[in-house]
Amino acid sequence: MSREQLIHSVQQHFDGGAFAATLSRRVAWRTESDTGTVPPTLRGYLADEMLPELQGLGFDCQVLENPDPKGGPLLLAHRVEDPALPTVLTYGHGDVVNGQESAWRQGLSPWVLTQEGDRWYGRGTADNKGQHTVVLTALAHAIAARGGKLGYNVTLLLEMGEEAGSPGLAQFCADHAKALRADLFVASDGPRINVERPTLFLGSRGAINFSLTVRSRDKAYHSGNWGGVLANPATVLSHALASMVDAHGRVRVPGLLPASVPDKLRTALKDVTIGTGADDPALTPGWGEPGLTPAEQLVGWNTLEVLALGSGNAQRPINAIPSQAVAHCQLRFVVGTDWKNVQATLRQHLDAHGLEQVDITMGMMCGATRLDLDNPWVDWTLASMERSAGQSATLLPNLAGSLPNDIFADQLGLPTLWIPHSYPACAQHAPNEHLLGSVAREGLAVMAGLFWDLGEPAGVPWKEGALSTTNA
């Protein structure tokens, strides 16, 4: 079978409804991981849904316990044709965020795949069941097209706790470093730049969640009898937030920012536009770091967001000074940020502004990564994608969102290539999450072509591509 026949075959598989049938079955698994528990469905998805398919493709599979009791189990699978051949590590996650059933549009359910034209609704269709189904379907067809021999080995890591912050993943990968040894990392998550253009990104922004709390006293007090002589924790917290990020969304703490946007990154982003999709929100004029394009703001700079803010009862306010106030915040950051010292930076900043009473509680953290744009895998992958899609692909130096890519790039030392099969308005994490069938169909062609090209006897940068994995 030729490369062209392979792509035709995998798209026929899609057109005949087989891909939809598989995804429908996977969406039906209620694999919520962000509820504070580890439901048995997380193991069931791996053992009963994924393992039989992988064994049929020649993988040796293990469902293993997470070293962190807060995390779900993990599936580690190996398909070894010859230990002397190079190895591709791929990754996905079968867990999803809370279904939020009551908030979905009438006629839709998070646990039922519902096709309405090009939109395929269901929890996990975009994040990440649909995407790892694209990858594994393409891989299966590539194996068949090559007569059962890809010409390289494949390792798959599938976790069930990504939506809970991937608890235990770093430790698991440290414990199984030998089993995860590879030459290249290829996976699919996140959105492409827009509906029209296939996209390659090389890493992700990091993320740090933290909470700021002001506890002034044990109970609320009458705002008339005590107003003016009792500190209001909501007022104190408001000033703390205003000192960190201004009314135009600009971060005002130098220690939370990178030094600059690298020239190489600016060049890579010069033709990238943001917010042009029909379902994209209108960008806010003058918001964020001045002097940067929207693409540079998202990919090359940091943002500090207030995710939730609480004091008193906003739904039923009373005439009382609240006893406490809390803000849940998040720093999204790029390579070059001193992220491991964020807590100390925040403490120093708040104290310098006379806000010693603001307590800081750190939450989830994951590092920022960006494969060197000059790594030979970059141009090679873009060429493969263009050949399969019939159009050029957009290169993003890193995703604006966050993924546990620091584990694969820094801890395991791999060149990391991410090829997403969703789009920015897919409503991931929200009601009415959906996959676009057209994007999934194109994604099958792109991934099948990539898996074919990796098995070619010449031109694949196996050795040289592993040499430049620094986050430049």
Every domain of the chain with CATH number 3.40.630.10 lies at: 3-204+368-465
Q: What integer best gives the mean pLDDT of the chain? A: 96
Q: Where does 206-259+283-364 sit in CATH, by number?
A: 3.30.70.360
pLDDT tens sequence across 335-360: 999 999 999 999 999 999 999 999 99
Residue 277's pLDDT is: 83
Closest CA to 414 of 362, 382, 371: 371
Every domain of the chain with CATH number 3.30.70.360 lies at: 206-259+283-364
Strands (E), 176-250: 184-187, 199-201, 203-204, 206-215, 221-222
- Output the CA torsion sign for 302, 254, 170, 417: positive
Q: Class assignment of domain 3-204+368-465?
A: alpha beta
Residue 466's pLDDT is: 60
Distance CA 156, CA 180 (A): 9
Closest CA to 57 of 153, 130, 121: 153
- 122-143 exposure pattern, b = at least 16 Cβ within 10 A, e = fewer: bbbbbbbbbbbbbbbbbbbbbb
Residue 471's pLDDT is: 44
Closest CA to 177 of 429, 407, 453, 446: 407
Instruction: Spell out, as residue ranges, where the chain has pLDDT lower than 50.
Output: 468-472
φ and ψ of 186, to 5 deg: -135, 125
What's the pTM?
Answer: 0.92
Residue 182's pLDDT is: 98
Distance of CA 426 to the CA centre of its chain: 13
φ and ψ of 167, to 5 deg: -60, 135
Closest CA to 144 of 448, 471, 459: 448
